[in-house]
Every structure is written in C-alpha cells, then in structure tokens.
Structure 1
Amino acid sequence: MGAEAGQALAAAGILQSATPDPRREGHWLLRAGSKVGAVRTPGGHVVRITPKTPVSRLFFLLGFSLDPERVWRDSREGTVDTGAHDDVVPALAHAVERQIDTALRQGVLQGYREVTESALVVRGRLREAEQIRRHFGRTPPVEITYDAYTADTAENRILRAAVERLLRLPGVTGPVRRRLAHQRVRLADALPLVRGHDLPRWQPSRLNSRYQPALRLAEAVLRDTSPEHRRGGAEPLAMDGFLLDMNKLFEDFVTVALRKALQGDGLTARLQDSHHLDTAGLVRIRPDLVVRTGDGRTPVAVVDAKYKVEKGDGLLNADLYQALAYATVLGLREAHLVYAAGRQPERFHEVRGTTARPAERGVRLYQHSLDLSREPGQLLSALREIAQRLAGAAPNPRS
C-alpha cells in the first residue's frame, strides 16, 4: 500500500491507528477501531474490517434499532435477510436488494407531487406573481403549479439512491450487483438525489407500508456511512465505502430495546437526555437513556451503553466515574452501565461517602453484560430483565 493510501486511512479516522511499518517499506500497520465494513482507498486498495460479532447478529441489532415494533413481535428471525454472507458490505447489499424487491413486488409506488414549471399551456394553477415578475404578464410561456401523479416520489428517490450507492461499494458480489442493477431500472422514473443535500422526507402511511422496511434500511445506507473526510482545508479524500460504527449501533439497540420494554410500566424514556454537570452550565453531559416518571418530571434511572468488554482490572474506571456523575446530577441512588460482554451478567459497586447515615446504602453503579453471540430472543429477554430493574428503582432523590 502506497504512502497516499496509508495517509488517507490515518487521516480519515476509519481505523484506530494506521502507521508505517518500520521494518518493511511500503507496508502499514493497521489497527481496527469501532467501525466495521469496507472502504476503497485513493490507490484502489480495499480495506475490509470484519466485526467480531456474527454478521447476522449485527444486522439483527440494526434491524431492531430501525424497526423495533416489527422485530419485537418476532425476535426469532429479525427483519434483515443477509443471505449467507459473512462480510458486512455483501450482507448489506443483499439485505437492501431483498427488501427493495419485496417493496416493489406490487409495483412501483406512485403519488402526487407538486410541480412548478414554465409551460406553453395552462395546467393547474397560474402563478400570477411569477408570471408578472418573469414575463411582465405576457403569455406564453405561463408560470404554473399543478399536482402530478408520478413515480418520482421521496420514497422512490431514497430507494434509488441506496441502490446506486451500493453499486459503488467494494465487495458486492456479482449476483447481488446484477439484482441491484435490475432494481435501479425499476426505479428509473425517480430522480437521483443531489449529493450533499438532505434526504427527502417521507411520512409513514397505509399507502407506503410495504415500502417502510426497505426505506429504513436504505436510509441507514445513506446516512452517516461515507468515509469521506477532509484533511485540513483540502478537498475530501477520494474514498468510498460503507462503515457501521459499532459503538453507535450497540447504543441504539440497547436504548431502543429498553425504551420499548419500559412502555408498559407507565414510565417515559428519553434518549440522549442533555444536562449540565456544573451549576454554571458550562459542562454538558448526555446520558444515553434517562428513565422518568410518566409525567416526565422525576428521574427514575439512568443508563449508558458501552460497546466494550466489562472488566474488573480497573481499565474501565472512567465509565464508573461517568456513571457516578450522571447519578449525582440527576439525584439518583443508582446508575447502570450496559456492556457488550463481561465476566458475569451483573455486578455493582457501592460508592463510599454517598450517604449521610451509616445505616443507608450508598450510590450503586451497576454493570450489566450482554453476550451478543446469544440468540435474538435471549438478548431481548436479558434487556427486559434490565428494564424491570430500572422500573423498580423508586424515584428517591438524595437530599
């Protein structure tokens, strides 16, 4: 690998580290971080980062985070078909293509879209102000607005953009690539998205219900997945690929699952609930999940998810300090950390000096561990147990 490709990887933050190998010229030492997937460097090299978690389980986490209602009803299978692929990008391409094929099985969705244009004949509504401003009242042409029944809808634009992005990714297998090209033809009436613009908005409805699983997965492909990064004030590095951030994926899965499990307990759960550590409001803290009473006023519990292995050797003390800060600010007698793996399902630390009387117990910091190699139903059961503990925590602020 050349120096340009190695420097691009080091600058982009895709890996935890990328340094030249001092023993072999032209070789680089690469160390993976929290991102998994594949990326093509400026020199044409393809770097594949394989997750430790099985790909099928990884996509269960993704599917649940995107559509918890559907997966909650049937946690045995999940909603994302990855085929027999063991790498992230081929599995993703297969999954998206299968979802799009299912969505289009009854035909391409059409809908009404407002069209504004200049025309030689009057159709729809005449835009009088524009007619006077542009043409001084003369006709033709005429400035009109009308509703067109078309396949150029927000839903089809998103699906087409996802297909085109997947066709550019390295590692997509030949059969899947051919099927994606076929889906692109079916979606040809939808205009391509403009690069750098926000995704078009769509509203879930009865009419687009068959599209919704494909749309959620397509949006995951299009949002926050590009490994393009700027180096100083320079142009973006010429890199393309797809990367999943396991930190965010695990956090999304844990918090969405806990919020779903708490719905029947008369509690509200807020994701990324913002607070300040100091009285001056200068130091912001943002716990992953804050559970409150039904009226939303009183904190009941606080949770932070960590895509790490919980250890007992002091390496993760910073996580405990963070959890203690959350409990202190929110006035809680316990805080919870959920790890991706650990030596035991649950343990806690009781903090010294957090009680005024010896008979009272101090603040407890719980560490929970989820074994991501377990079956989906077992994962959800483990999170339901954690949710029961959160629901049982009385809103008893420290005085």
Structure 2
Amino acid sequence: MTHLTVYEWGPTGVHNDTGAAPKNAFTRSQANALLRAARSHTLANQSGTNILVDRYSELRAQQVVGVIAAPGCSLEILPKIDSGVAEGDEAIRTRLMSMLDVALGLKLGDGQALAMARQKETLLDILIRLFTDRLLAEARRGLPRGYMSQEDDLAALRGRLNVIRQFTHHAVRPDRLACRFDTLNPDTPLLRIMKACVLLLRSHARALETQRRLDELRFILADVSDVAIGALPWTQVRIDRTNRRWESLYELAKLFLKREWQRTNHDARAAQGITLLFAMNDLFEAYIAALARKALLGTDLTVHSQSGLRYCLMEECEGGRPRFQTTPDILIKRNGQVQLVIDTKWKLVGQNPEDKKRGVSQSDVYQMMAYARLYECREVMLLYPHHAGLGADGLKAAYAIMKGDERLRIASVNLTTGKQVVQQQLAELIAPDVAGLEVDA
C-alpha cells in the first residue's frame, strides 16, 4: 500500500517505468487509479483537473483537501495557508479534523480524533476508526429494527389472510394458510447503508485493530442484506426518535459513500476507491458560518449561509425576467433586516507591506459593493485566514464606499488558535461596535 501526503497545490512524484516506484512516488497504474477516482467525485469537472492535474512525472493537487484512495494506494491532501510557518502534518491534520467536525456537524469530539492525528494517522485512517468505533458501540447496544411486511404459508393464522393466494394455491389444502404479517427485522435501509460502508472501509483500513473491529461488525450485520453502493436506499432512510442516536453515523456513512453516486457519468472502476474531498473555499465558509452561529447565541442576531438570492438586473422588456442572482456566503440579520454581509476567501492577502490595497482583489471589492447595494446593508466584510505575514494583530481595516454611507471591512481570523478562540474573534468582528478598526480614506 503506497500512501503519500501533499498540500494544496503541491506535487507528488509518478514513476513511469515498469519497475517498482520509489517510496516517495506512485507507479503509473496507481496514478491512473487516483485520477479515475478524482474524476468520479462530484467536485470534479469533466476531466477532473480541478482536483488533480497529471503532468506525466507528477500529480499536482489543486485547491481541495481530503483523501483519494484507490486499490493499493492513497493520496492525502492537507490545507496550508501559511507557507512561511513550519508546521508538522499532525498539527495541520488536527486542524482539518476540527474544521470538518464543525462545518459538517459530524460530532466527532476532539479527544479521540486529536489523539489519532498526533499518532501520525492519516485523515482516512482517523475517519475510518472513528466511524468503526462509534458504529461498534451502537451495534453492541442493539440494532435498530423496523416492521417489515412478509408473506408465508403457515399451519396457523398469523396476521392477515391472503385471500387470493389462499383460494388459488391452497384451495384443496385447508392445513396451509397464506398469511401476511409484519415482523421486527434489522434488515432496514439504514443498516443496509451501514453494512455497505463497513464492507467498503474494510478494504481501505490499514490498522490491524480497525480491521478486526470491521470484521466484528460484518458478523453483527450478517442478517442485513448486501446492497451494491449504487443501489443503496438513501431515500428510504427515516431518522426518528427510535434511531436518533444513529444520525451522526448516517452522516459519516454518507461522507464515505454517497458523493460518488450523485453523477450519472461515474466510472465503475472508481467505485473501488474512496474520495473524501472538500473544496477549501467551501469548507472555510461553512466553518466560519457554524462558529458564527455559536458566537451569536443569546443575541438578537442570526446567521444565514448561502441565502439572500437577490438578483442584480431586470430585463427592460414586457415580462422581463431578473438576471444574475447573487448568493452571499453569510448574512447577519437582526429582525429580518440584513446588518452585515460576510464573504469568506481562502487565500493569502497582505503579503506585501507596501501594497496599500493589502492584496485584495478588485473583483472582490466590486462584488461587495454590489452586495451592499442589493441587500441595503451598511456593513460588508471580506474575511480571510490569518497568516504570519499579517502580524500578531491580524488584518483589520475598513474603507468607506464612495458616493454612499456603506463601509467595506477587511479582516482575518487565526485558525491555528482553536475553534473557541476563532469563535471569540468572530463575536468581536460581527458585534456592532467597530471602534478601533483602521479606516482608510
């Protein structure tokens, strides 16, 4: 099993000769398998070049993070916003696990995940072990069962009589009764998904203890039907009070299984692999939105992500339609009125101290000016991840928008400080009192 780790935009070697590849490179067949798996993911464009770029002698990751696993190989892609600071893979992996936990609501808990990250486990190893341990604990407590309709020919009546079958097949057999009845059965849509996930993860688990636990789960789920991943009954799953404790497990199973089958052009060969990939722009936005909600609990401010949906233009004709719909990353509202629009950007800014614009893109400024106008909001903000080049205090600046009373604020949050500190930073940024920000004319 060849496993390599790279960072966003980073390369990994490909050995194109027929001989065995060195330890720091994939063989050509392994590279092709990873490329097929990348193309099968819902994030991928038609050729998958927004995830992995094949440059013959190397594969280069793009702005995604996560794991691509194929038979005999896996590639882990980690985020790294600050190339000027030396950090170990364990610290970066721990931070990524925390971001995924918060953004996706996986309820992983810090203790076990962080401990495994420090033991140099890969992201895939960590998620497989967390899923396995939690599923095994719940299975030992008892499997959720559901009433399922069955039909059988019995000597005594059970449930209801199937009249048509009784008077056709058993017209001369009064000793046999065609019965229809409901039985409590563990072979439910939820457990079929769990079993499919167990079978998939068994082929990718590297730790012997994890493999042993997955084998135990296969034995516990022996009475549950085997269903191909492409035919899993996602729409039939119902989470209610009887199986609420399985909800986070269901979300984890979707993370492992469902993303490949939201496309009609998936590659059947890629189904043997796992692609847990996240666009860093989207992950950063979801992480900030989730922590902002926690930061504003108990206040009259509410957080709305990927909402708004107002249009920029209206056609000047009879029956004209609106055009160019907007979707701001985060809206902060009070009593239904937008107080602040936040647009998150996963990019480096402020690297050049002589740049008075602090590296902010002109197109981003135009976008925020449009948001201020469309959402009738006096405060708009561009929010970036902090890096060492911004100094200890981070990025805090404000600009008055010309010909109006709106203001654009530019700020950064330090992700290395932990989610509690990030939450506090967001509370201070979103609070109405903005005294102390540097204002540029």
- TM beyond 0.5: yes
User: What secondary structure sits across from 2:222 in the alignment?
Assistant: coil
Distance 1:215 1:153 in 2: 13
| Shift of residue 229, structure 1, vs aligned partner | 7.4
Is 1:87 the counterpart of 2:126? The answer is no
Secondary structure of the structure 1 residue equivalent to 2:183: strand
* CA drift at 1:112: 2.6
DSSP 3-state at the match of 1:149: strand
| Alpha-carbon distance between aligned partners in 2 of 1:234 and 1:218, rounded to the nearest angstrom | 19
Q: 2:369, 2:401 within 8 Å by CA — same for their partners in 1?
A: no
2:122 is equivalent to residue 96 of structure 1: no
Give the paired residue count.
360
Alpha-carbon distance in 1 for matches of 2:209, 2:397: 50
Match of 1:180 in 2: 214
Which residue of structure 1 aligns with residue 62 of structure 2?
32
**Which amino acid is 2:346 matched to?**
Y
Please name the residue that 1:348 is paired with.
397
The match for 2:203 among 163, 168, 174 is 168
CA distance in 1, matches of 2:370, 2:358: 21
Report the structure number with the largest CA radius of gyration. 2
Deviation at 1:14, TM superposition (A): 6.4
User: Percent identity among equivalent residues?
Assistant: 22
Structure 1 residue 89 displacement after superposition: 0.9
Identify unmatched segments of 5+ residues in structure 2.
1-26, 40-45, 81-90, 171-175, 315-320, 351-356, 436-441
Cα 1:354/1:382, change in 2 over 3 Å: same
Give the C-alpha shift of residue 302 in structure 1.
Answer: 2.0
Matching residue's letter, 2:342: V
Alpha-carbon contact 2:53-2:61 (below 8 Å) kept: yes
Q: CA deviation at 1:334?
A: 1.5
User: Shift in Å at residue 331 of structure 1?
Assistant: 0.9
User: Which amino acid counterpart does residue 353 of structure 1 have in structure 2?
Assistant: M
Q: 2:14 corresponds to which residue? A: none
Closer/same/farther in 2, CA of residues 172 and 305 from structure 1, 3 Å limit: farther
Supply the distance in 2 between the matched residues of 1:13 and 1:167 (Cα, whole angstroms): 27
Q: Residue 28 of structure 2 corresponds to which residue in structure 1? A: 2
1:374: how far off?
Answer: 1.7
* 1:36 and 1:243 in contact (8 A); partners too: yes
Q: Is the 8 A contact 1:275 1:286 kept in 2?
A: yes
Secondary structure of the 1:286 match is coil
Equivalent AA in structure 2 for residue 190 of structure 1: V
Partner of 1:242: 275
Matched residues in 1 for 2:49 and 2:200: separation?
A: 19
Closer, same or farther in 2 for the Cα pair 1:112/1:325, shift >3 Å?
A: same
Shift of 1:62: 2.0
Q: Name the CA distance, whole Å, in 2 between partners of 1:347 and 1:32.
A: 29
Q: How far 1:349 sits from its partner (Å)?
A: 4.0
Q: Distance in 1 between matches of 2:274 and 2:381?
A: 35
Matching of residues 185-204 of structure 1 within 5 Å: 185-196=219-230, 197=232, 199=234, 200-204=236-240
- d(CA) in 1 for partners of 2:399 and 2:95? 34
Residue 61 of structure 1 is matched in structure 2 by: 99
Once the two structures are superposed, what CA deviation does each residue of 1:142-169 show, in whole Å capped at 9, x if it has no partner? Answer: 9875432122234433332332232233
Does the 8 Å CA contact 1:166/1:172 hold for their aligned counterparts? no
| Residue number in structure 2 paired with 1:366 | 409
For the pair 1:377 / 2:420, whether they are aligned, the reply is yes
Q: What amino acid sits opposite 1:339 in the alignment?
A: Y
Offset at residue 236 of structure 1 (A): 4.9
Q: Is the 8 A contact 1:227 1:242 kept in 2?
A: no
Q: How does 1:202-281 map to 2 (within 5 A)?
A: 202-205=238-241, 207-224=242-259, 226=260, 235-236=267-268, 238=270, 240-245=273-278, 246-273=280-307, 274-279=309-314, 280-281=321-322
Deviation of the 1:300 alpha carbon: 2.3
The amino acid of 2:182's aligned partner reads D
Cα distance change on mapping 1:63 and 1:47 into 2, 3 Å: closer
In structure 2, the residue matched to 1:337 is 382
Matches within 5 A, 1:153-164: 153-164=188-199
> The residue matched to 1:292 in structure 2 has which SS?
strand
In the TM superposition, what is the alpha-carbon distance from 1:60 to its structure 2 partner? 1.8
Give the match's secondary structure for 1:97. Answer: helix
Q: Structure 2: which amino acid aligns with 1:244?
A: L
Matched residue, 2:349: 310
Secondary structure (helix, strand or coil) at the match of 1:336 reads strand
1:327 is matched with 372
Report the CA distance between 1:103 and its aligned residue: 2.1
Q: Compute the TM-score of the two structures, normalised by the length of structure 1.
A: 0.75
Decide which moves more: 189-198 or 28-37. 189-198
How many angstroms does 1:330 deviate by? 0.6
The one-letter code of the counterpart of 2:64 is S
| Structure-2 change in CA distance of 1:236 and 1:194 (3 Å) | closer
Cα distance in 1 for residues equivalent to 2:257 and 2:191: 14
Partner of residue 15, structure 2:
none
Deviation at 1:351, TM superposition (A): 4.5
Residue deviations 1:156-189 (CA, integer Å, cap 9, x gap): 33332332232233x6333322222222222233
Instruction: Flag the 1:161–1:19 CA change in 2: closer, same or farther, 3 A.
Output: closer
Q: How far apart are the structure 2 equivalents of 1:99 and 1:166?
A: 14
